[in-house]
Each structure stands twice: as C-alpha cells, then as structure tokens.
Amino acid sequence: MLERVTLREVWDAARDVKAFRFDKRLEFTAGQFIMTWLPGVGEKPFSLAWRDLIVVKRVGPFTSRLFELAEGDHLWIRGPYGRGFEPRGEKIALIGGGIGIPPLYAFAKQHRRRFERITLLYGARSREELALMDIENYVDEVVITTDDGSAGRKGFPTDVLAERKNEFDQVYACGPEPMLKAVLGVMDHRNVQVSAERYMKCGIGVCGSCNLGKYLVCRDGPVFDGFQLRGLL
C-alpha cells in the first residue's frame, strides 16, 4: 500500500547522485528495497540506505523528476520488499561499484559490531562520482578505485578483491552487472552474497518482469547467494 511521505532533507552525495531523507522510519534488513511513486511519472525501486533514506543516481525521466524535489515536497513509497543480506563470517569485504553503495552502507551500519573486520572496496569512474556518504564511520578500511585514476587506485574494486580474497571469509557485492560477474568469478560463486538488479513493475512477485532464470529478483532477491547465480550472471 502506497504511503505519502515528506522529504526532510535532500543533498548532493556525488555528481548526479542525491540523497533523500523522508519522515517515515522503516523497519528493514539491509539489501531490501522500496518502491517509490511520483504522480504522473511512474514508480521505481530503490535500495534503502537507512530506515528513512534512499540515495539515487540520475539516469532517466523518473530520477530526473525526483531530482527536482526539495525539502518539504512529497513522494509515495511502499515496502520494504525482498530478501536482504545475511551476516556471516568475521572478516568481510563489501564490494561496491557506482551507485551500489546504499545497501552496503546500510549493512555496515546495521552490523558494524557483529564483525571482527569490515573492508570496503569501492569503485567509480572518477573522483566526482564517489558517493561514500559517511561509511568510513562503520567500516575498518576503505579502498577506493577509479577508472581514470583520479582518486585512490586506478582500476576496479575486483582487481583488489582478486589480490586479497583470502583475507575475507564472506563477500557482499552491489553494483553494475559486469562487476558482479567479476566478483562471482573471483570468488568461484562461494562465500559471496550479491545484490542483483532487474527491471521491476510490481515489486511483489506478481508481474514476472524481473525474472532472472528461475528466480524473481523482487521476491527471491534482490540479494542472492553466489551459488544461486551460477550460469545466470
């Protein structure tokens, strides 16, 4: 059921990335998403970055309209939906690319006392596109990579993962599909949880538009264990 919420805060998180904090605090598991509706525009899913927070990259008509909203404006939400991340292991890596940071941010914030060590490996195309928020407050180490070398190490977060994978007993990943495929390859689909993305309409497993092999991303995911995605990503 859609519920109208009011935006309490809106701020720039990176180039073409904005954070939207609303006046409703949701109970959720990191990795779950909400459906967000704007009258006359449509409805889109966004992973929760916190109980009252989404972080959005401008990529099309819906997000462009969302970027026009300011504090005091309204949007409509329903959820949370889907399967989130499950805390496992003691020394973990969070692997993020592009706008894949929100569910990893939520996971680190929810479980920072659960793990012995949390390492974030985060990549973007350039310095201007890094949307770190204040995640350094919830992890033990941050390793940055950029495609152009303008911040951190030039390359991809999966390059670092390939070198250091034996340090981690569980890996959590969210980002562009080529990055997720690389993560699964490095880890041989073991000891890894991946947040997948597919086009969604209903968000509750009815319309079937988000199918990924035998799975529906909205119902069976968006978080999957690596072995579930063998041959699918």
pLDDT digits (tens, 9 = 90+) for 44-103: 999 999 999 999 999 999 999 999 999 999 999 999 999 999 999 999 999 999 889 999
Q: How far apart are CA 23 and CA 7, in angstroms?
A: 6
Give how far the C-alpha of residue 50 lies from the chain's centroid of Cα atoms, to the nearest Å: 11
Tokens of 145: 């990579």
| pLDDT score for 199 | 78
Tell the CATH topology of 91-195: Rossmann fold (3.40.50)
pLDDT (0 to 100) of residue 109: 97
- Locate the domains of the chain by residue range: 3-81, 91-195
For the chain, list residues with pLDDT below 50.
Answer: none
What is the model's pLDDT at position 1?
A: 85
pTM of the model: 0.95
Both tokens assigned to 163: 């070198």
- Does domain 3-81 sit in CATH 2.40.30.10? yes
* Residue listed under structure tokens 């859609």: 2
